[in-house]
Structure 1
C-alpha cells in the first residue's frame, strides 16, 4: 500500500534522504523528487549561488514554494532540504499530504558524509563545522520529530536495506 501514498523524507544534511528516497521510489515504481535539485532545475542556478545572491531567506522562500507544489502531487517520494522544516507552512503541508519519515543520523556521520561537499552553503566559510552541525541539530531536530510519522536511524544500514525497512513501516500505518 505504500505506493499509493506520498512519502516525504526529512532530516539533516547527510542523513541519506536523496539516496534512500531514490531506492524507495525505484522499489515502489514511484516518481522521485529532491527539493534542492528541483530548485536548481527551475532557477538554472545551484543552491550555493542562490544563497550568495538571495541569502538564506530568499532560498527558503523558493524552497517553500517548490515543496508546496511537489507535495500536491500524488504517489511521489520527496527528499526535502535539511532546513525545509524551519517553515511552519512547509511542516504543515508535509504532515497533511503524506507520510513523513525522519531520517535521523549522528553529527559524526553527517560530518563524514558531507565533509568534501562544497555544495552546502550553510557549511561554507566557518572554521568550526561541528558547532554549525550542533546548532542546526538543536534548532531542527525538534521540528523533524514534531511532524514525523516514522523515525529511523540511518547510521548503520545500507540505503537499500533502509528503503526496505521504511516500506515495511509505511505498510503498517
Structure 2
C-alpha cells in the first residue's frame, strides 16, 4: 500500500518521535523530526534558538523546515508541539499529508518530559500549569487538522503504531 506523507502532531511527550521512527520502519518510509532538522540546519540547539531569537524566531525557522520537508514524498514527519500554531503550517500539513494527532494527558506529558532539559517552554517553576495552558490553546488546533486521532497514554508504542496502520488502511 502506498501512503502519502504522514504528519504526526500533538503535545510534547505524546511520543511523536518514537512512534514516527517505528511507523517509518514498519511502512518503509523515511522519517524526519522537524526539531532535529532545525538543529541540523542551524547548528544550534532548540533552547539556544529560543534564547537568541525567542519563540517567534524559532517558529519562523520551523515554518520553513515544515514547508521544505512536506514537499518530499513518502515521508513521516514528527512536528514540534507548537507547529500547529501557524496557520500556514496547518494548511501545508493538511494539504500535503495525512495528519495524525497523538493525544496524551498532561500527567503523561509530565512523566515523559520531567528530565528533558531540551524543552525551553518547560524550564519554569510550574511545568504542569504551562502544559495545561498550552493544551487549552493547542488542542482545538490539533483536532481541527487531524485525519486520525490516537490516544497514547499508557500504551506501548508498537500498539499505537499498529492502530495507526489499521486506521490508515481504513482511510484508503
Paired residue for 1:164? 162
Q: Distance in 2 between matches of 1:89 and 1:137?
A: 20
Deviation of 1:167 (Å): 1.0
Q: Distance in 1 between matches of 2:41 and 2:134?
A: 27
Deviation of 1:164 (Å): 1.2
Q: Distance in 2 between matches of 1:128 and 1:4?
A: 41
Paired residue for 1:91? 90
TM-score (norm 2): 0.98
Deviation of 1:71 (Å): 0.7
Deviation of 1:156 (Å): 2.2
For structure 1, the residue ranges without an aligned partner over 5 or more in a row are: none
Deviation of 1:4 (Å): 2.5
Paired residue for 2:99? 100
For structure 2, the residue ranges without an aligned partner over 5 or more in a row are: none
Paired residue for 2:151? 153
Deviation of 1:95 (Å): 0.4
Displaced runs of 4+ in structure 1, greater than 2 A? Answer: none
Q: Distance in 2 between matches of 1:169 and 1:83?
A: 25
Q: Deviations over 1:147-166 (max 9, x none)?
A: 00000100121111111110
Deviation of 1:52 (Å): 0.3
Deviation of 1:128 (Å): 0.9
Paired residue for 2:30? 31
Q: Distance in 2 between matches of 1:54 and 1:156?
A: 36
Alignment length (residue pairs): 171
Q: Secondary structure at the match of 1:4?
A: coil
